[in-house]
């Protein structure tokens, strides 16, 4: 793929002035939020999305901005496949709500189920996964995502119980890389057949390759924005040498298109990818929305619809907050881009 054409970037004031800030309501609380905010930029190659979660500091957020600039001001790699299978995503809902959630993901034969939600128990997780298995049937793939909220003992107990439902893997069951490595050993020793996948230990780590060195995971979950773009994500996947799943960071259709570009460019793609999350939003900024059809997404650039951008425009105070964040993060992002080989 091409390098980011920083010579064609407008100056900071023009970049800030030309941004679009959107606020999109969610169908169900997810990751503790009910509204997803994003800032969208249009470059000569297409659109980019800057949407780090509001609690992230400027240093971490600058990776997300580097990814947005890469998307708008460089080319993506040539795809190796013309379609990417994606999974349904089931938030931490009650079992009776599971069928309605799954209905939003046309043709998906794999589901990622959120577990370890604060305020809920392992019993709640088991009931939710059981409902997904009942709704999807015995041939469906099911994976769970704990977002690092379990300690080691809880993870072992929970996965022993959840393994009865035939899990593809457990995503970030514990917080640290050392805990993941110990968990893999304990699961094997106890005869619990569940793969371990690393997410936060890749995308939030100063040294994402430590997961592979310590044999702490069987699968790596990668997200374009937190890793700084499609190019850096490809490099990390190659260096890890583990099967990869490309997932979203609760992106709009603009960010999802970058994730699909990454997934389509991978030499090998064993698992369905977590790129169907636009279905968790009330509406997208792209028409038609970037949601799976018959369980698939197809690589290609997308362009936001002007009417949808206008409809989703953030309130004035939030618009200003995001523009100020963009201005603060821009020097850090440009420094990241300058340091790339």
193 labelled binding-site residue: no
Q: Give the single-character DSSP code of 128.
A: H
Token match 């600058």: residue?
Answer: 62
Extract the tokens encoding 260.
């699909």
CA 16 to chain centre: 25
The answer to whether residue 114 is catalytic is: yes
Separation between Cα atoms, residue 71 and residue 232, nearest integer Å: 12
The answer to whether residue 185 is catalytic is: no
Separation between Cα atoms, residue 17 and residue 251, nearest integer Å: 22
Mapped onto helix, strand or coil, the DSSP state of residue 91 is: coil
Among residues 197, 208, 204, the alpha carbon closest in space to that of 238 is found at 208
Residue of 112, 185, 204, 223 with catalytic role: 223
Residue of 112, 114, 185, 204 with catalytic role: 114
125 labelled binding-site residue: no
Residue 242 has φ and ψ, to the nearest 5°, of -115, 155
Beta bridge partners of 197: 171, 219
Residue 100 has φ and ψ, to the nearest 5°, of -65, -35
145 labelled binding-site residue: yes
Residue 229 has φ and ψ, to the nearest 5°, of 135, 175
Q: Give the single-character DSSP code of 95.
A: G
Extract the tokens encoding 91.
């938030």
Active centre residues (catalytic): 114, 223
Binding residues for Mg(2+): 145, 171, 199
């Amino acid at each position: 793929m091409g390098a980011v054409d920083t010579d064609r970037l407008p100056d900071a004031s023009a970049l800030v002035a030309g941004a679009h800030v959107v606020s999109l309501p969610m169908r169900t609380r997810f990751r503790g939020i009910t509204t997803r905010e994003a800032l969208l930029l249009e470059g000569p190659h297409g659109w980019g999305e800057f949407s780090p979660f509001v609690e992230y500091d400027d240093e971490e957020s600058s990776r997300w901005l580097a990814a947005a600039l890469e998307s708008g001001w460089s080319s993506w790699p040539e795809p190796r496949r013309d379609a990417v299978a994606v999974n349904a995503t089931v938030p931490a809902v009650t079992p009776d709500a599971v069928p309605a959630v799954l209905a939003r993901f046309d043709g998906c034969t794999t589901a990622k189920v959120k577990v370890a939600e604060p305020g809920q128990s392992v019993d709640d997780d088991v009931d939710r996964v059981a409902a997904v298995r009942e709704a999807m049937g015995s041939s469906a793939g099911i994976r769970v995502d704990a977002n690092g909220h379990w300690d080691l003992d809880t993870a072992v107990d929970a996965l022993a119980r959840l393994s009865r439902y035939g899990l593809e893997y457990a995503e970030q069951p514990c917080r640290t890389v050392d805990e993941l490595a110990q968990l893999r050993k304990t699961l094997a020793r106890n005869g619990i057949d569940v793969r371990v996948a690393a997410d936060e230990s890749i995308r939030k780590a100063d040294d994402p390759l430590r997961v592979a060195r310590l044999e702490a995971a069987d699968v790596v979950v990668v997200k374009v924005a937190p890793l700084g773009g499609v190019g850096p994500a490809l490099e990390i996947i190659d260096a890890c040498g583990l099967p990869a799943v490309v997932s979203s960071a609760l992106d709009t259709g603009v960010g999802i298109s970058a994730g699909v570009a990454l997934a389509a460019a991978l030499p090998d793609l064993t698992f369905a990818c977590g790129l169907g999350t636009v279905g968790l939003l009330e509406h997208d900024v792209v028409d038609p929305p970037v949601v799976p059809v018959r369980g698939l997404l197809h690589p290609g650039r997308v362009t936001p619809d002007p009417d949808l951008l206008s409809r989703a425009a953030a309130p004035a105070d939030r618009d200003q907050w995001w523009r100020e964040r963009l201005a603060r993060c821009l020097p850090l992002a440009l420094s990241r881009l300058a340091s790339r080989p």
